[in-house]
Structure formats: C-alpha cells, structure tokens
Amino acid sequence: MVTLGFNRYGKAEVRVVRVSRGTGPDGSDEIRDWNVSSSLSGDLAGSHLTGDNSHVLPTDTQKNTDYAFAKRLGAVEPEVYALALGRHFVQTQEPITRARMSVEEFGWRRLSGPHSFARDAGSVRTTTVIVDRELGTSIVSGIKDLTVLNTTNSEFWGFPRDEYTTMAETRDRMLATQVSAQWRFRPETAGEDTDFAAVYAQATEALLAAFAQTYSYSLQQSLYAMGERILADVPALCEVRLALPNKHHFLVDLQPFGLTNDNEVYYAADRPYGLIEGRVLADDAPDEGIAFS
C-alpha cells in the first residue's frame, strides 16, 4: 500500500514587468520586474488519485491572475503583491487552504530622464509569502546573488589537522562570498502597512556593514555577525537564514617567473567551494511554523 503525501502545484517563474506611468519622482515612470511563482495546496487528493480536476485551478489561470493583479495593484512592493495574490487564491478557491507566493525582483536603476533604466547587475530581491486559511500568514524576504569581498582582515587557523589536511593556516587572506539571505518577519508586525522597501534597504545595509566591518576568523563568524546586525537594526524581523559559499581566492605562485606575490595576484576558483549555512534568531522569535515550508 502507498499513500499520497503532501503535495502542491502552481505556475513557476511567471515573468511580470509592471510599468507605472508618471508615478515616480518628478513624474517619471516606475518599474517592477518580477519572476513570480505560485504554489497551491489543500484538498487536492482527487486529482492525484482519480484524475478529478474539479478542485484544480489551472496553473494557466494562476499565471493570468499574476498579470491581472499587477495591473490592479500597480508598482507596489513585491511583498504587497504576493500577499494580495496569496489571499486571493485561498479566499476564492474553497479547496485551496494554502497559497505560497514567491517573487524574485530584478532591480532597475534610474538613468537621467523619466523613462530610462539600467538593470542592476547582480543581486536579486526575494520574498515568499504563505497564506494558510488556518495557520495565518507568514512573510520571508531576502536577497540573493549579492557578491562581496574583503581584500584582507580575514584569517583562518586553529582548525583540527588529520592525515588528510594539507591546507596551511593563514593570517591574511581574501574573503569573498555570494550572499543568500532570508529574513523572517515577526507575524504581528507584517502586513500591507509594513514599509517593506525600508526593511529591504536596512537589512541589506546592515548585512553589508557587518561583512565589511567584521575582522573575520572564519566565514562562519562573518555569517553570525551579518545575521546579528540585521536583527539588531531591523526590529520587524525575528530570524535570518544565510547561505554563504566561500568563493576561494588562491595566491598564484609567481616564483617560477622570479616574482614575489605579497597578496596581490590571485586565482579565483569556481569550484569546489566551501558552503557555510546558518540561522540567527532573536531570543523572542516565535516558532517558524510554516514560514519556510
């Protein structure tokens, strides 16, 4: 015998670009560039077990709803957009008890003139909103693909050595990583009225400041410093999860060319990479519930 376990379905990676004409500074245009994924769950066993689609709102409809809500809501914060969509699916589809909306936002930097933008290279803003009819609403936002580097103020030594250890201890190295961070909002403070743009700016700034200002003995230590600073600076948040690939920079041996290398010329390795992951929680953080499900 087998049984059907947890399941969900939806439309992944709907590319939605919303232009809001004349609503920016000095009558300029605003733009939101999103990659939207919806995932619905609830009373859906029939579709898996007997092919009964009477509870299955088509993923094509979900995609259309994403576009329609972009029109209706305007160039709002991605969290506000995801909240509205999540509530819509749970409120209008009886069998659907939970909606998970994920939005990746690609930033566009304003150029001179009211209609011109250049796409931000690199980092992506993220949010995942889960609306559950019984368990309530959770919001986890963050940033990914944020590559940062310190040319010094990083050491790594004092680690255990065994018969397979070849790496030398270092008192001065380059430290580089590509940050993925997710921050969980306190449920009682997160809703349509939250200043999500300010939280994003403050959390990102805190993370960058902690990375730059921490004299680091390991990427683990930098990870904790980043999470700690975000929670200290942004009271609306109660937990930060970080994934930090160690983007190794190895000194090139220039001796064959009769040259010294006093921490000046590096080989940036692509793989393998160390992967440092961790969670930092406020002492009074409520249970995570379904926030990361």
- Active-site positions read 11, 59, 248
For residue 6, count other CB atoms closer than 10 A to its CB: 6
Closest CA to 17 of 104, 102, 91: 104
Q: Please spell the DSSP secondary structure of 14-58, one letter per residue.
A: EEEEEEETT-SGGG--EEEEEEEEEEEEES-HHHHHT---TT---
CA–CA gap between residue 107 and residue 209 (Å, rounded): 21
What does the block give as tokens for 76?
A: 């709002």
User: In the complex, what is the shortest distance from the CB of residue 216 to ligand URC, in angstroms, rounded to a whole number?
Assistant: 7
Say whether residue 182 binds ligand URC (CB under 6 A). Answer: no
When asked if residue 226 is in the footprint of ligand URC (CB under 6 A), the reply is no
- Examine residue 168 and tell whether it contacts ligand URC (CB under 6 A): no
CA distance 130 to 240: 17
Contact with ligand URC (CB under 6 A): which of 24, 114, 274, 286? 274
Position 214 contacts ligand URC (CB under 6 A): no
Smallest distance, ligand URC to C-beta of residue 276, A: 6
Q: Which position among 41, 180, 194, 246 is part of the footprint of ligand URC (CB under 6 A)?
A: 246
The one segment of 43-51, 77-85, 217-225, 285-293 that binds ligand URC by CB under 6 A: 217-225
Kindly report the length of the chain: 293
Among 69, 81, 156, 224, binds ligand URC (CB under 6 A): 156
Check residue 289 and report its DSSP letter: T
Q: Does 137 bind ligand URC (CB under 6 A)?
A: no
Q: Which residues bind ligand URC (CB under 6 A)?
A: 156, 167, 218-220, 246, 274
